[in-house]
Amino acid sequence: NLALGEISPHQCWHAGFAALRRGSRGAETFLKEVVWREFAYHLMFHTPHILTHNWREDWNTFPWQTDENHPHVIAWKQGRTGIAFVDAAMREMYVTGRMHNRGRMIVASYLTKHLMTHWSIGQRWFDDCLVDWDPAANAMGWQWAAGSGPDAAPYFRIFNPDTQLDKFDPRGLYKSRWIAEGSPRITDTALSYFDAIPRSWGLSPKDRYPAPVVTLKDGRDRALHAYSERERPS
């Protein structure tokens, strides 16, 4: 595990470069991710405030909500937003401690843009749940998604989780693997989520799957309005 120091970035780089020379598909993308991680550590060393504060200070007045106990935040953490891709990814992370990079971008974009919630809330939840947690990469990734970091995603780039689900899970296999509510054939993997979560959450696979806490259109429109207001000259 690179995050735990079991393997070094140098080893990863040389292994990836050797694979690239052999013509391995995906090697170039792997090497880019290694460089991206090293850039995160460069930022953490030279600008350590990236771990706790907006890297770009002009984002300090952006109207994110910051309540950890907001119902939308709780729904996001529990995989009960009513948005299938988001919920499946959040449940996978809670059970396995891992989440695909595509899922991380989707759930981060959804929290910071559709739900207009400060990135640090998502950052702390990832800290708690991921077995490959990495302080530098986690902070930079969240600020990339939110728009407050260096080389961040443009404010108008708001992932549509439903479109992403149709594109990357056209047969619905990922969704059915992790979401039990309302499914005609509940998988063992979907049930494992309910074994893993605290009883205090009061969730059951027999529950009705929730309606979206915020519709994707309403969330997108609200975020675009807030972001465009920020872009206006004062």
Query: Long-range pairs for 68-73 at CB < 8 Å and ≥24 separation?
Result: 68/121, 70/117, 71/213, 72/115, 72/117, 72/213, 72/214, 73/111, 73/115, 73/117, 73/121
Q: Which of 22, 47, 14, 5 is nearest to 133 (CA)?
A: 5
> Which residue bears the tokens 């605290």?
198
* Catalytic residue (one of 142, 144, 160, 178): 142
* Catalytic residue (one of 1, 60, 69, 101): 101
Q: Which of 62, 63, 113 is nearest to 83 (CA)?
A: 113
* Catalytic residue (one of 13, 36, 38, 181): 36
DSSP 79-111: T-SS-HHHHHHHHHHHHHS---HHHHHHHHHII
Query: What would the two tokens of residue 150 be?
Result: 């260096």
* Catalytic residue (one of 55, 64, 125, 178): 64
> Which residue bears the tokens 């702390």?
124
Strand partners of residue 117: 65
* Catalytic residue (one of 55, 59, 76, 119): 119
Instruction: Indicate the residue type of 45.
Output: F
119 tagged catalytic: yes
144 tagged catalytic: no
Query: So which residues are the catalytic ones?
Result: 33, 36, 64, 101, 119, 142
